[in-house]
Amino acid sequence: MSLLQQCACASSKTKESPTAVPYSRKHQTTSASPPQNDGLSQGEDNRIHSTMMSSGSFVPDTKHYELYTVIGRGCNDTAGIILTKHIPSSKHIAIKKTNLESCDIDFSVLQNEVILCRQLQHEKVLPILTTFIHDHELWTVMPLMAYGSCKDLIHAYFTNGLSEQASSYILRDTLLALEYLHSKGIIHRSVRASHILVAANGNVCLSGLRDAHSMIQRGRRLRIVHDYPQHFVRSLQWLAPEILEQNLMGYDCLSDIYSVGITACELANGYAPFTDMPVTQMLLEKINGTKPVLADCTTIADLVGEENTNQGHDSGIDSEATNSREITDLANARKFSHHFHNFVEICLEKSLETRPSASTLLGHSFFKHLKKKTSEMLPSLIQPLSPLTDISKLPKAQAGDVDDLAEDINNMSMEEGWDF
Amino acid sequence: MPFFGSSKKSPQELVKAIKDQLQVLGTKSAKGYQTDKKVSEDLTKNLQVMKTMLYGSADSEPSTEVVAQLAQEVYNTGTLILLIKHLIRIDFEGRKDIDRIFANLLRRQIGTRMPTVEYLCTKQEVLFELLNKYEEPETALLGGRMLRECCRIESLTKILLYHEAFYKFFDYVELSTFDIASDAFSTFKELLTRHKMVSAEFLEANYDRFFVNYQKLLSSENYVTRRQALKLLGELLLDRHNFTTMTRYISSPDNLKLMMNMLREKSRNIQFEAFHVFKVFVANPNKPKPILDILLRNKDRLVEFLTKFHTERSEDEQFIDEKTYLIKQITELSGPKDQMEVLK
């Protein structure tokens, strides 16, 4: 196969622009390609990120990709995210394979997500490099976010939450992404730790635009929207009260800010507020204006008080009790800055009039101490975790895995054909 | 009027500036197109100003008078076609402003008149310029969006359907890049389904050519093309506006054979979509002889096949009803021979 590969390279190179792109491009373009080798001295990952978008070098052809191991799941487990080597450039990327035969997939939603993402370009929004169909799977080629999602970080090590500084970088970058989306009239609608990804160099990207909604419709910018899709169920915890209320007042971009507040708690506490709470109770709490808080020594007394009253209704299981004692001890031992507490509080403002915009929040005192642009500090703040960069030891995906086998058997069992 | 920013351009000045900048960027020399960064940045800024004039800002509604002047100037100077032609030479964010500007101008209305639509009817090349964007990956999705805005207007749909260029869609929907191919399919579908009367007339008048091409989509190697084409076929045939087309389609034994084979495809989704086309053949009260013959030859097999077909869809009542109906119809099928025997 490698030989074939080289043949293809050699033949297509002659027609290419003089820039060093040693592999074929299916679509010939007339544009003067931007200079692609200007960033050699910069951080490798940054460069990949920027040139990946502009170069159009990712070809919709499976032959260009060598699949390694599954590193994540997406879309309700119907999609696998696979660590992949892009053969022409030897770069590591990620491919999301979505099984379109699965009945859980709403094809048009998937299509909208891809088409929307392809029209966005921002350092903090996860780009889609190319997409194509292979058998009954949709392959979405994306940069490798080697630390995984913030939820992965929490799962892997920071079960009691990330440090305030790590959280501040992540939230700052999330807000930068939202500032961009909101300026385009796009409401993200599912901001949560599992949709915030971290690259090896610490760059943070917002992903998960499946539920995103455009406020610009038919050549007019809507002031509010009333769209309440069915599959919101997974994100209920993070959604703003005005979305959950589903009333005529509608909602707008500021509803994402509420989700940022919930995500801030999720990052710092290690779990999202309202976890384990019955949906109706959560709804009531949100509508009544209950504001979740960061668990530390200044707030834990109130939190524990609440939890005890809650447990009165439940049958108090022992393990839960010890668990909550651990949380109490831990919270008592830490203290978040009042900037952080205030940040969360204003994000979770119930009233849309008082809730600040992404741009306003970026000027919040919580972010004052951060270096202007980079998040290269982030990897040092999430040690001992390390990014997934060495793939040499990882197993390669086997051709024809179990699914295919099952399918073959299915085919065999089919009756004889028709008589025409 | 604003007291600040007295440097504000009038709509005329703005359009002229944009046109001039486009002409600079669109000039081709021996070395290829100009890439003047300054011009490009200024153009993006001007487009933003234009967008704000049309949409208003957070705290001000657009002025009708300014919008009217702006639109008139855009028509008079032929700036629309230039904007679309040189889309790729405009930077990423500027391109999206063009999409917004286009959408806004298009829906402009003065009483019952739609000046931009009228303009486009006389400048049809704008529409085909948009269509051609599907061949330019960087701008394909934007072109598609603008084209779908046009599909909302009946007169523009008519122009697009009856033009030779319409048949390019059959290639575009098979492009290897999923997002572009599926965007093209959305536009294709929109053209064929939004304005029922227009598309019904079109399908009747161009039946042969259309379905020869459509056949290729149904047998495409691309799973998504096949599945989407099959689904759309079902929708088209079941739409009462397309009665004539449906009658013709279900009289062809080749079409029936194709659907029966698709019922057996390994993809369950394709099987399911094929069912919804197949049922029309069976439900037809006036089946031509060749169709009846095929059904009769496969009578027992079909009954057995349908009985086992997608039994897990126990909650889809409509599907179960339809399946039961088909099984009953097929069981009761009798050919001319059988009828003779009955008579004896």
> What sign has the CA pseudo-torsion B262, B264, B265, B268?
positive
Confidence of residue A265 (pLDDT cuts 50, 70, 90): very high
Domain A62-144 sits in CATH 3.30.200.20: yes
Give the pair of three-digit tokens for residue A347: 């994000």
Contact residues, chain B, for A410 at CB < 8 Å: 266
Contact B136 A30 (CB under 8 A): yes
pLDDT < 50 regions, chain B:
1-6, 342, 344
Answer with the residue of higher pLDDT: B181 or A228: B181
| C-beta of residue A17 within 8 angstroms of C-beta of residue A29 | no
Q: Which of A27, A219, A407 sits opposite B107 (nearest CB)?
A: A219
Confidence of residue A4 (pLDDT cuts 50, 70, 90): very low
Give this prediction's pTM: 0.83
Confidence of residue A159 (pLDDT cuts 50, 70, 90): confident
- C-alpha span between B178 and A114 (Å, rounded): 9
Q: What is the CA radius of gyration of chain B?
A: 26
- In this prediction, residues A320-324 reach a mean pLDDT of 61
Whether the CB of A104 is below 8 Å from some CB of chain B: the reply is no
User: Which residue from A minimizes the CA distance to B33?
Assistant: A32
- C-alpha span between B43 and A346 (Å, rounded): 38
- In this prediction, residues A239-253 reach a mean pLDDT of 88
Whether the CB of B186 is below 8 Å from some CB of chain A: the reply is yes
Q: Which of B179, B264, B269 sits opposite A114 (nearest CB)?
A: B179
Confidence of residue A15 (pLDDT cuts 50, 70, 90): very low
Cβ neighbours around A96 below 10 Å, total: 21
Burial tier of A160 (Cβ tally within 10 Å: 0-12, 13-18, 19+)? middle
In the numeric block, the tokens 């939820």 are attached to A151
For chain A, what percent of residues have pLDDT higher than 90?
Answer: 28
Q: What number is the ipTM of this complex?
A: 0.85
Whether the CB of A414 is below 8 Å from some CB of chain B: the reply is yes
- C-alpha span between B289 and B295 (Å, rounded): 10
What pLDDT does A45 receive? 43
Whether the CB of A18 is below 8 Å from some CB of chain B: the reply is no
Q: Which of A101, A128, A418 sits opposite B260 (nearest CB)?
A: A418
Confidence of residue A279 (pLDDT cuts 50, 70, 90): confident
Task: Classify B175 as helix, strand or coil.
Answer: coil
Q: Measure A228 CA to nearest chain B CA, in Å.
A: 23
**Residue A215 to residues A13, A184, B58, B117: CA-CA distances in angstroms?**
43, 8, 13, 24
- C-alpha span between B297 and B279 (Å, rounded): 17
Give the pair of three-digit tokens for residue A230: 């069915």
Q: A344: closest CA among A273, A242, A250?
A: A273
- C-alpha span between A144 and A309 (Å, rounded): 45
User: Which residue from A minimizes the CA distance to B97?
Assistant: A184
Whether the CB of A63 is below 8 Å from some CB of chain B: the reply is no
What pLDDT does A46 receive? 43
- C-alpha span between A23 and A10 (Å, rounded): 8
pLDDT at A417 > cutoff 70 = yes
Q: What is the CATH number of domain A148-305+329-382?
A: 1.10.510.10
> What sign has the CA pseudo-torsion B216, A413, B257, B245?
negative
What pLDDT does A227 receive? 85
Domain boundaries, chain A: 62-144, 148-305+329-382
What pLDDT does A306 receive? 56
What pLDDT does A108 receive? 84
Answer with the residue of higher pLDDT: A386 or B100: B100
Whether the CB of B88 is below 8 Å from some CB of chain A: the reply is yes
Region of poorest pLDDT, from A114-123, A319-328, B211-220, B231-240: A319-328
Answer with the residue of higher pLDDT: A364 or A13: A364
Q: Which of A111, A219, A414 sits opposite B103 (nearest CB)?
A: A219
